[in-house]
């Protein structure tokens, strides 16, 4: 099946630093989604990407859909303590026929720790 | 987006028993999903639950172990049957809205 490689697995950074994480896939996806999960909570959608090459921002977060459709990255600028959490990428293959499962394949996550 | 609630938020259950988890959405949605997240791990899809049809299970998950109901467009249940300690996980429901999936807060299950 499809597999996503997400890196790095964990990061320790100083408050104010920029962060970059990425995901690569062995298969093509139609959509890339980035989520953040905090302890005891479900994943929260941060950014959704729909087109190869697309660059999208959400506040201090910027994500790009790779041109090959097999990769994506997420950048966080000027990190703050509340950025702490686990960030997951997810690729989605939407069946063009309109039938079937809109299955998400998740990366293993990047655990971000911010040192004040 | 959508507001999704799950009940219970957590439970401790004995081996061999069953637990039914409820998922409620504040709007009508066609596609709902159930995921499992084992401690320190990523999310794994258990099944897709569309209203009016049988749930579609992913490889490694079977209906006898994880029966799912989807009686209407705002509600679904997942039952974890004949539980063993290996079933200790977070169980999450999600909904698809315009190709974006939104998740509930999860149900943290511990089986002793």
| The three-state (H, E, C) secondary structure of chain A, written as one string | CCCEEEECCEEEEECCCCEEEEEEECCCCCEEEEEEECCCCCCEEEEEECCCCCEEEECCEEEEECCCCCEEEEEECCCCHHHCEEEEEEEECCCCCCCCCCCEEECCCEEEEEEC
Burial A58-91 (b: 16+ CB within 10 A, else e): eeebbbbbbeebbbbbbebeebeeebebbbbbbb
Given this model, what pLDDT does residue B53 score? Answer: 82
CB contact under 8 A, B42 and A108: yes
Residues of B in contact with A58 (CB under 8 A): none
Task: Give the model's confidence band at A98: pLDDT under 50 very low, under 70 low, under 90 confident, else very high.
Answer: low
Give the tens place of pLDDT for each residue, B56-78.
999 999 999 999 999 999 999 99
Contact A91/B at CB under 8 A: no
The stretch B34-62 carries a mean pLDDT of 92
Three-class SS of residue B85? helix
Give the tens place of pLDDT for each residue, A12-70.
999 999 999 999 999 899 999 999 999 999 999 999 999 999 999 999 999 999 999 99
| CB B45 within 8 Å of CB A103 | yes
Q: Cis omega before residue B94 (within 30°)?
A: no
Between A3-7, A78-82, B84-88, the lowest mean confidence (pLDDT) is in A3-7
Helix, strand, coil percentages in chain B from 3-state DSSP, rounded to 5: 5, 55, 45
Residue A99 pLDDT > 60, yes or no?
no
Given this model, what pLDDT does residue B93 score? Answer: 97
The stretch B7-31 carries a mean pLDDT of 97
Candidates A10, A30, A40, A43: best to mutate against B (most CBs of B within 10 A) is: A43
Tokens of A49: 């990407």
Number of cross-chain residue pairs from A and B with Cβ atoms under 8 Å apart: 56
A107 to chain B nearest CA, in Å?
Answer: 7
Percentage of chain A exceeding pLDDT 70:
91
Residue B6 pLDDT > 70, yes or no?
yes
Give the nearest chain B residue to A101 (CA atoms).
B48
Given this model, what pLDDT does residue A101 score? Answer: 53
CB contact under 8 A, A45 and B4: no
| CB A85 within 8 Å of CB A36 | yes
CB contact under 8 A, B48 and A101: yes
Residue A96 pLDDT > 90, yes or no?
no
CB contact under 8 A, A33 and B101: yes
Residue A97 pLDDT > 70, yes or no?
no
Given this model, what pLDDT does residue B1 score? Answer: 83
Give the nearest chain A residue to B96 (CA atoms).
A102
Residues of A in contact with B102 (CB under 8 A): 45
């Amino acid at each position: 099946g499809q597999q996503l490689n997400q890196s790095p697995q964990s990061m320790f950074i100083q408050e104010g630093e920029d962060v970059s994480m990425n995901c690569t896939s062995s298969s093509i996806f139609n959509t890339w989604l980035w989520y953040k999960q905090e302890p005891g909570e479900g994943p929260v959608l941060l950014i959704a990407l729909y087109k190869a090459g697309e660059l999208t921002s959400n506040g201090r977060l910027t994500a790009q859909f790779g041109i090959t459709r097999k990769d994506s990255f997420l950048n966080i600028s000027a990190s703050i303590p509340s950025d702490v959490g686990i960030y997951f990428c997810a690729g989605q293959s939407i069946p063009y026929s309109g039938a079937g499962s809109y299955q998400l394949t998740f990366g293993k996550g990047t655990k971000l720790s911010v040192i004040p | 987006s959508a507001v999704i609630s799950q009940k219970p938020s957590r439970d401790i259950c004995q081996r061999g028993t069953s637990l039914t988890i409820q998922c409620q959405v504040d709007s009508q949605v066609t596609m709902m999903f159930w995921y499992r997240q084992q401690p320190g791990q990523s999310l794994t899809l258990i099944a897709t639950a569309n209203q009016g049809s049988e749930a579609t299970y992913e490889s490694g998950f079977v209906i006898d172990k994880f029966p799912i109901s989807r009686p209407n467009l705002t509600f679904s249940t997942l039952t974890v049957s004949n539980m063993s300690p290996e079933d200790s996980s977070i169980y999450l429901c999600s909904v698809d809205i315009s190709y974006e999936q939104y998740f509930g807060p999860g149900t943290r299950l511990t089986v002793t």
